[in-house]
Amino acid sequence: MQREQRPNFYASAGYLDTVSLVYFSGKTTAVEEVCVADRVLRLLVVDGRQVITQVPFLDYHEPIRTGGSRAHCRSHQYVEMVAQNVVSYDEWFAGSFSDYVPGPFVDWTMFASFDDFMNHIKPRGKDLLREAARRRRKLATDFGALSFSMDDTREDVLPNAIQWKGAQLRETGLTDIFLNPKNIEFFHELRLRGLLTASTLRANDRLLSAWLGFVHDGVWSGWIFTYDHDPLLKKYSVGRQLLHSMLEEGLRQGHREFDFSTGDEAYKWLYSTHARVLGPLGTPPLRQRLCSDAKRLAKTLLTRYPTAMDLSQTLVRYVRNRR
């Protein structure tokens, strides 16, 4: 039986058109329904033949249909990051999902008020939540009245968010994604099209933290979560302060979800009620299968020899930092 599903932002016309303009300028593009295994995805096709499944700022795919006729549907062999299922917080931690990536999110339909939500998550971090409230009061005392904007269009938001995030990535040994000017253009184009939601926290006029994302079909999500790295601000957790304001606003706006996108970061689990189970769909190319098998074998062997495992991890960090 064919089952219709709600397409997420990454299958929307606005997002796919922006990707086409920024990353495939000068090429012929079309949005098509693409069959992968028993799912149907809405994807960008370039020059009538190249199916685009990965671009910067495409976090995961969500099928628009499951099952049904494959007529008039382009076939594709493999997509790496697709929502397979949704499980509760407890199910994720009780289950066996080592081969999958979590997509943690808050299901706002569970809560009548923000107090209900805070009481729900309190057992996970009672002291953390109390400490965050204390730091917020101290931040306002030391730097001035705090103001939250769900969508801040002031000119300092994008440049500061891009600079802060780039520096943060470099300091942690990761590649600065904003060395590619196309990635900066992407956010400016989203802003021009009215598709970007840039949320901020300020003390007086000073920008403290920012989140660059979107709201689509009652789901608030995004890509860039960053803050001013001034050492004088470190003890106030200005990123966490912004997040609390966003969560409260999302429920007030009547959103269905707050989506933390992909990743296993601890702060996401502090707030999330559910997780998407994200993983591959279809049959990977032979070369990729061979590489994956080799990695699994190497990991199995290294776990038997802790010293060798430590050395391998040190070498990986060294190579990453040299890039």
Lowest-confidence segment of 60-64, 67-71, 173-177, 224-228 by average pLDDT: 67-71
In this structure, the chain runs to a length of 323
Residue 90 lies in a domain: no
With 0-12 / 13-18 / 19 or more C-beta atoms within 10 angstroms meaning exposed / middle / buried, residue 293 is exposed
- If asked whether residues 180 and 300 sit together in one domain, one would say no
CA distance to 21, 205, 253, per residue, from 248 (Å) = 34, 22, 9
Name the band, by pLDDT with cuts 50, 70 and 90, for residue 75.
very high
Which residue bears the tokens 């299968």? Answer: 289
Helices and strands: H and E segment counts in the chain: 9, 14
CA-angle at 150, arms to 146 and 153, nearest 5°: 95
Residue 1, pLDDT > 80, answer no
Same domain? 244 vs 297: no
Q: Strand 219-227 to strand 206-216: parallel, antiparallel, or no bridges (unpaired)?
A: antiparallel
Q: Is 25 within a domain?
A: no
Q: What one-character DSSP code corresponds to residue 235?
A: G
Residues 6+ apart with CB under 8 A from 310: none
Tens digit of pLDDT for each residue in 20-39? Answer: 999 999 999 999 999 999 89
Per-residue burial over 74-111, b if 16 or more Cβ lie within 10 Å, else e, is bebebbbbbbeeebebeebeeeebeebbbbbbbebeeb
Does 205 share its domain with 145?
yes
Residue 206 sits in the same domain as residue 306: no
What's the pLDDT score for residue 299? 53
pLDDT tens, position by position, 208-239: 999 999 999 999 999 999 999 999 999 999 99
Task: Provide the mean pLDDT of the chain.
Answer: 89
Specify the amino acid at residue 295.
K
Same-domain check for residues 189 and 298 = no
The per-residue pLDDT for range 247-273, each reduced to its tens digit, is: 999 999 999 999 999 999 999 999 999
Same domain, 157 and 199: yes
Q: DSSP 3-state assignment of 101?
A: strand
H or E element, residue 181: helix 181-192
The answer on 303 and 246 residing in a single domain is no
Q: Nearest 5°: CA angle at 319, between 316 and 322?
A: 150
With contact defined as beta carbons under 8 Å apart, do 78 and 281 qualify? yes
For residue 209, what is the domain's CATH number? 3.40.630.30
What percent of the chain has a predicted confidence (pLDDT) above 70?
Answer: 85
Is residue 270 in a domain? Answer: no
Tell me how many domains the chain contains: 2
Does residue 219 lie within any of the structural domains?
yes
> 178 in a domain, yes or no?
yes
Q: Which domain holds residue 300?
A: 286-313
Same domain membership, residue 306 and residue 224:
no
147-181 tens-digit pLDDT: 999 999 999 999 999 999 999 999 999 999 999 99
Residue 99 lies in a domain: no
- Its sign, for the CA torsion 64, 67, 72, 76, is positive
Shared domain for 196 and 130, answered yes or no, is yes
The predicted model gives 74-93 an average pLDDT of 95
User: What is the identity of the amino acid at 151?
Assistant: D
